[in-house]
Amino acid sequence: MHSNVLSFLRHLRTSAASVIINGDLFEFWFEWKTVIPRTGFRVLSALADLREAGIPVVMIAGNHDCWGGDVLTKDVGVDYRMDGWEGGIGNWATRVEHGDGLRPVEDRGYRAVKWLMRNPLAIRAFRLLPPDLATAVAGGSSNASRTYASRDRGQGLRDAAVRELSRRRDTNLLVYGHSHVASLEQIAPTQIYANPGSWLDAPHFLRITAERVALRAWTGSAESADLHAFDRPAKESLTKP
């Protein structure tokens, strides 16, 4: 998986106008005052290369990497967001968020601890642990989460997307992650829900242009065929090719 991510990020230097990473790029990420997890070094370097090439990079916090700080924002130069991103991508009014905690049933236990994971006092206390010990502790829970397969096949997060789009009538494209289930679905005449899935299972990504959003598999080239796609003609309706 690591080599796939690196080859993908390197390819984006010549094929992308901007990049959005929707959480859980790292199995575990934490920033001590002078130490960061060693396993993220090459990925950080690839992100820094994208920024040096003039490509904007937005990184949204997931449940594995919600402790970002100056290394990501100042040293690497990514736009690190805790609560998602909204804006225009081509002609798509877009909302992107990781989606952790949105499933009423499957995320019930996680919601009970999410507030603690992001509490400043808890983060400060965790920072007092020796980095090797802290990484080992966090790595155990991270591995359990990453090998987790959604029992509902993504239905809970899809239902959350339907509810969110019903509130956001002006949003054309809503992107979640977290469930490890790839999806691209038209919810309303001018609204679609997308989820690129998990690179642990099969490397997939979303390619969004002015008039098309496509789900693709990474096979070493960003020009691989669309697995699913929707076009958005000027008349504001969506068609599946």
Question: Residue 22: inside a domain, yes or no?
Answer: yes
In a domain, 177, yes or no: no
Identify whether 240 is part of a domain: no
Which residue shows structure tokens 């796609």? 229
pTM of the model: 0.88
The sign of the CA dihedral 12, 64, 208, 217 is positive
* Domain, as residue range, for 10: 2-85+108-148+198-231
pLDDT at 240: 66
Contacts of 162 (CB under 8 A, 6+ apart): 187, 193
pLDDT at residue 176, as a whole number: 96
CA 142 vs. chain centroid, Å, equals: 16
pLDDT along the chain (241 residues), means of 10: 84 94 91 89 95 97 90 96 92 94 80 79 89 81 53 86 95 93 94 91 90 92 83 64 67
User: Domain tally for the chain?
Assistant: 1
Task: Tally the residues of the chain.
Answer: 241
CA distance 6 to 3: 5
Q: Flag whether 189 is in a domain.
A: no
Assess contact for 57 and 17: CB atoms under 8 A.
no
Tell me, yes or no, whether 182 lies in a domain: no
Residue 141 lies in a domain: yes
Specify if 19 maps to a domain: yes
71 DSSP 8-state letter: I
Q: How far is CA 30 from CA 127, 140, 226, in A?
A: 8, 15, 35
Q: How buried is residue 232: exposed, middle or buried, by Cβ count under 10 Å (0-12/13-18/19+)?
A: buried
7-43 exposure pattern, b = at least 16 Cβ within 10 A, e = fewer: ebbeebeeebeebbbbbbbbbbbbbbeeebbeebeeb
Residues 136 and 186: their CA atoms lie apart, in Å, by: 42
Q: Is residue 62 part of a domain?
A: yes
